[in-house]
Structure 1
């Protein structure tokens, strides 16, 4: 939210009360510090009258993390929901410490330190780590702000959702209907952090604009708006700074970030209401801060190995009866493009019937038998599309109404509208009975032979004039709904299929959604521009704590020409998860030409052979919080060029992937070191020494630039492998070495199920190798 008119002025009618001095310390111990701040200098007793006070509470939930709660009026009734913190277990109590002098208070947790200036007219905060300045809050940088209501309706991201059927934004409880229409006002809590020279900001969820968030206003409001605007399906109020720290704002409702936009040297964070709570997260580096954020909000769950294979979808509005489905699978098999997961989109149910969980009897007269047949014939898992919207025509709608399973209006009626599905209602997951009911529907679907679920939608959630079963604040529930929806389905799959077999293909998310992988990028067009937007969204999401990510290869909307399909296939198979999916046209490669078939076969084979490496990186993501696909800045924080790179990424620790966004020209950057072309398997493979920009003209459609970092060892599975979930420790592994500089390099070999490793392969500098902990079938790379 913008609270200024230029540098000095305030909008007409705004009341801004920013803290200028500490007037009292309410509580001080090594575990907690609480003090009050005045928006004016208190020089005499009269100055204590007719003035607001801000209360600031400082604690540390885990080492190298400092929590700050800024509050104004504290008599407010708290309505959930709240993000689930530390879901993987309570952390050890940090050894925090509070000290006090005449001029400042200091709160320290691990290496992270907060200095609070207590001199008159000089209030401010300074965060530092091991002596290195991170960020600061200057005088008046913490404030309560009342804005005239009309000023809040012109810039809010939330207006993009449901604005056609609902009035504008909520105001304070004491603002009457008359005030709302005649003006009224809305209260915000504001915290401004300094933004240093050259400092760059990343994350804030899946965002399709520039990877660097500097200069942007970013509102946390889930919306179904495709991949070409400021709207996003996955809004995460957490950012990473190139200075090596993170900031998490612990509010499920809309939080707004002004990143060097309202004020060029500040990051403004604002939220409606009387309280603002945030965590400054240290650790010594961007990677460490991201891992500490994962401790706070939850580690990504490890998806089963079979999910890393190729997904093939029926697409959306196409026809897909049993014969069509079988022809796709046979065609992919005949062309050496093995499919591991077959996805049935919306029309496995009848039209107007979504989401009834009832198979269309005309297209699939015996779904249980049919799914068993295709599994046996083509060795595929089956994914089925669902969403939390229940159409009025659906067979289960009446039951949901009678038993109170849907979100309601304030007058007690079921909330309904006609967008997407006629007369649709929305499941109220705050109702335990509705949760159990919906989980039962998913269970029955799984029993027909479905293995995994695509949880579509979850963004179009009403937030005005509605009520939830448990009394949750609808404003907070708008984003949080995605968490409950995906959690319900994910836990149901775990219960039915087993803990190591659960996976989703989800579109919407909020904080904690990384616990229920996999997420895909949403509706993109079939253009190079949309391909680049999609990648920016994925890298931004990776900077927000999500370990696994996918997208619609070839684009969702439109029919891509061969060059776009081929280029996108390369990026798609060198993503953690890979899906061919479209809207009105099938994404089988032979629809796009012979080069498309060759490219798909080549990329699928490469990914399958790389699975020992990829799955080891997936385990790392699930145990540390580091994503499989990483922005270059995360891996090379000291390389200034890496700060702006948003068209390439690291695929785990060792592989650099540079998708091609042109029919013939490839351009990418290699950081310092020696990089080896992954595709060159000759005895003297091509290498490039960085740092260097590289331009390759007439780059073949059947390839994608993939380079291996020096001092790396890759273990590749057999050439004839056709599934991703083979036993990595019990097949012949090809050992490839790349510019070894260490005396020995040790590579973990995953079992392929769960997070266990079967043993290690130790490679000496001279190229010799042997197994450790297990005898592996190893072979040197072929010249």
Structure 2
């Protein structure tokens, strides 16, 4: 929201009260409180009829500075007044107070305030300036209409780029954009977003989290071009300045504050196939799809039933439409006998024709108007109401309905919608409707995710969620919403996913082939490449089926090739997912996250790192042309073995069975011996591919069990022409493949043979170490 009129003027109807100088400082056990005047006090008389601004600084986690600003502290804020944060208190801090400044240090991150005019707030990490707030930047905004605001402006340095703010489909770098944190069902082609997160991070190595669930307005270099501004309505503002040694550290600290991504079950990484949205289907149709996939040797892990598994006009009643599914329990048993997991579509909206509507209305489970009547409208479903998840009884009621489906054989839920939440309503617990609009999705997804954990066990819960807010990363997986069947929409989907990953979310998917319209065979095959080299992979559409044989026979071959490639990569993907859940970084990573020291990567948004070792550059045109950037180092094409030197942009033409898929130097990528399912014992028979290990470098691979527990860890270190290999843990028949190396002179502690792609080493059965001597 803009409050100024150019550089000099304030917009009509607003008055900005900014801190001028510090009047007093109070130092607490683990905090400092600053009282700032809005002008210079020449005498005691100036203290009359004059407001102060109160600024409190503390730290919940090392390297995170909490900033809380007040005008009138007694203003009531109904819940949810903030997000649920994991730390319950403050950590010790170091405070320095002198005549000129007062500073507070947490970890290696420091906030320093100058006491005299102009009062400034400066944040540093290990002595390096991160950002600052200076003259007229911090402000309480008095509005003539009574809708007062608080705003902060933090400086942007020359060349500094801003990322995050949720799953945004607009340009990847947010500089110059106006972003309102307000969940909306706007597809992937506008500035609206399903997953709005009031958190951004920058190429300068810090993040900012605004702890307000309600509407937060960001002006990212768009009101004052050298500042990022954020504002909220009310009498106070709370934000966290998050430091770290790298962008990964910033994300680690942010997710320590708001929650780490849960580790999805291994089966969820396989290929998902759906009925699509408005298509006609029954058990025979579903069976034909499943059997058609099996007949064509297309590994399938999950089958999803979209909306019309329930009767039209009755969403949601959580009952199978007996006209097309007369024996749902038997059908699910028959599908599960084929090794499939089952997902069904749900949302938190209850249509008036659903038998659950009267039940919810009578028991007070639905959102109400001020006069006590149920809030209803006809958009999406006739006369629909919305479940009130602030009512514990409504949560149990909703879970009971879903629990019956789980008992029937359902394994997962696609938690659709949750964005169109009205503000002219009354909540059971008295929550503020404005603050609940974004936060509603957190309660919705949490209720469903926790039920899955209760019924299926920890580590077995997986959603396919569309809406989210800060902290929503704890309930994976999320997908990108309604995209079109175009190359442009495929690219905007990737931008949205990379932006979400830089907002604390670990796992992300999208509709392969596009949701709206039907893609031509060319686009379908290119999207298959992208989709199967994503965290999670789902074939889904709106008005047409997405089975590959409806496009052409080559589409069948392409889907088979990349599905099996992903299954073989599961030891690597799941191992990196375990790391992602522990650390709080995404599996699919923007280039800037891995290569923050390379300024070329600041704007790169049409390629990504899958884990820390594989670079993926999807192809966005029918000609098969790719333009991609390889950072410094030696890169090896994972499929062909071609080695190229980075530090430059490259071009190439690729068929449907190839794309730029490069392994970074000094990487060890475990490849499994199973290509037909995602959940298997990854360490048994695993081949560790070692890429371009440089002198003095070390590469490590950790292969977990499908429960995410450590199983096998292998480390390779090169010293001149000798590579030392150490292993820990247990596994049968594992081997190591030296990619790009054609001969060795000697191996102690194991055997070796020459392979097409390099030298394969097999350790002695009882040994835990090998030494490989390369030919000079």
TM-score of the superposed pair, with normalisation by structure 2: 0.93
1:734 equivalent in alignment to 2:687: yes
1:732 Cα deviation (Å)? 1.2
DSSP-derived class of the 1:24 partner: strand
1:717 Cα deviation (Å)? 1.1
Between the aligned partners of 1:626 and 1:763, the Cα distance in structure 2 is: 25
**Which residue does 2:350 correspond to in 1?**
390
Change (3 A) 1:12 1:84: closer
Q: Check the 8 A contact 2:365/2:387 in 1, yes or no.
A: yes
1:744 Cα deviation (Å)? 5.0
**Which residue does 1:584 correspond to in 2?**
543
**Which residue does 1:461 correspond to in 2?**
421
1:768 Cα deviation (Å)? 7.5
Q: Check the 8 A contact 2:666/2:698 in 1, yes or no.
A: no
**Residue correspondence of structure 1 range 27-46 to structure 2 within 5 A:** 27-46=26-45
1:78 equivalent in alignment to 2:77: yes
Q: Structure 2 regions of 5+ residues with no counterpart?
A: 738-754, 757-776
Q: Check the 8 A contact 1:83/1:511 in 2, yes or no.
A: no
Q: Check the 8 A contact 2:703/2:711 in 1, yes or no.
A: yes
**Residue correspondence of structure 1 range 373-772 to structure 2 within 5 A:** 373-376=334-337, 378-464=338-424, 466-663=425-622, 664-680=624-640, 685-697=641-653, 699-718=654-673, 721-729=675-683, 731-741=684-694, 742=696, 744-753=698-707, 755-763=708-716, 765=718, 771-772=727-728
Between the aligned partners of 2:548 and 2:192, the Cα distance in structure 1 is: 31
Q: Check the 8 A contact 2:666/2:697 in 1, yes or no.
A: no
1:746 Cα deviation (Å)? 2.8
**Which residue does 1:101 correspond to in 2?**
98
- Of 323, 335, 343, the residue aligned with 2:304 is 343
Between the aligned partners of 1:562 and 1:695, the Cα distance in structure 2 is: 23
1:45 Cα deviation (Å)? 2.8
Between the aligned partners of 1:425 and 1:690, the Cα distance in structure 2 is: 56
CA-to-partner distance for each residue in 1:677-732, whole Å, 9 max, x for gaps?
0111xxxx2111011111113x21232211000011111111x5311001112x31
State the Cα RMSD in Å: 1.4
**Which residue does 1:11 correspond to in 2?**
11
Between the aligned partners of 1:365 and 1:28, the Cα distance in structure 2 is: 70
1:90 Cα deviation (Å)? 5.2
Between the aligned partners of 1:540 and 1:631, the Cα distance in structure 2 is: 8
Q: Check the 8 A contact 1:737/1:767 in 2, yes or no.
A: no
Q: Check the 8 A contact 1:608/1:721 in 2, yes or no.
A: yes
Between the aligned partners of 2:417 and 2:613, the Cα distance in structure 1 is: 35
Between the aligned partners of 2:736 and 2:256, the Cα distance in structure 1 is: 39
Q: Check the 8 A contact 1:29/1:98 in 2, yes or no.
A: no
- Of 724, 729, 733, the residue aligned with 1:777 is 733
CA-to-partner distance for each residue in 1:204-259, whole Å, 9 max, x for gaps?
00000111110011110000000011100000000011111110000000101111
Q: Check the 8 A contact 1:736/1:780 in 2, yes or no.
A: yes
**Which residue does 1:194 correspond to in 2?**
155
Between the aligned partners of 1:36 and 1:297, the Cα distance in structure 2 is: 29
- Of 130, 137, 141, the residue aligned with 2:137 is 141
TM-score of the superposed pair, with normalisation by structure 1: 0.92
Change (3 A) 1:206 1:327: same
DSSP-derived class of the 1:396 partner: helix
Q: Check the 8 A contact 1:95/1:110 in 2, yes or no.
A: no
Between the aligned partners of 1:767 and 1:391, the Cα distance in structure 2 is: 65
1:86 Cα deviation (Å)? 4.2
DSSP-derived class of the 1:312 partner: strand
Between the aligned partners of 2:224 and 2:206, the Cα distance in structure 1 is: 21
Between the aligned partners of 2:153 and 2:663, the Cα distance in structure 1 is: 41
Between the aligned partners of 1:61 and 1:50, the Cα distance in structure 2 is: 35
CA-to-partner distance for each residue in 1:470-511, whole Å, 9 max, x for gaps?
010000000000000000000001111111210100000001
Between the aligned partners of 2:206 and 2:198, the Cα distance in structure 1 is: 14
DSSP-derived class of the 1:500 partner: coil
**Residue correspondence of structure 1 range 107-118 to structure 2 within 5 A:** 107-118=104-115
Q: Check the 8 A contact 1:31/1:96 in 2, yes or no.
A: yes
1:780 Cα deviation (Å)? 4.8
CA-to-partner distance for each residue in 1:153-202, whole Å, 9 max, x for gaps?
xxxxxxxxxxxxxxxxxxxxxxxxxxxxxxx3421101111111011111
1:94 Cα deviation (Å)? 2.7
Between the aligned partners of 1:98 and 1:745, the Cα distance in structure 2 is: 41
1:769 Cα deviation (Å)? 5.2
1:332 Cα deviation (Å)? 1.2
DSSP-derived class of the 1:617 partner: helix
DSSP-derived class of the 1:467 partner: coil
1:771 Cα deviation (Å)? 4.1
Q: Check the 8 A contact 1:224/1:231 in 2, yes or no.
A: yes
Between the aligned partners of 1:771 and 1:610, the Cα distance in structure 2 is: 20
1:28 Cα deviation (Å)? 0.8
1:146 Cα deviation (Å)? 2.6
Between the aligned partners of 1:601 and 1:248, the Cα distance in structure 2 is: 42
Q: Check the 8 A contact 2:83/2:211 in 1, yes or no.
A: no
Q: Structure 1 regions of 5+ residues with no counterpart?
A: 149-183
**Which residue does 1:237 correspond to in 2?**
198
**Which residue does 2:743 correspond to in 1?**
none
Q: Check the 8 A contact 2:449/2:463 in 1, yes or no.
A: yes
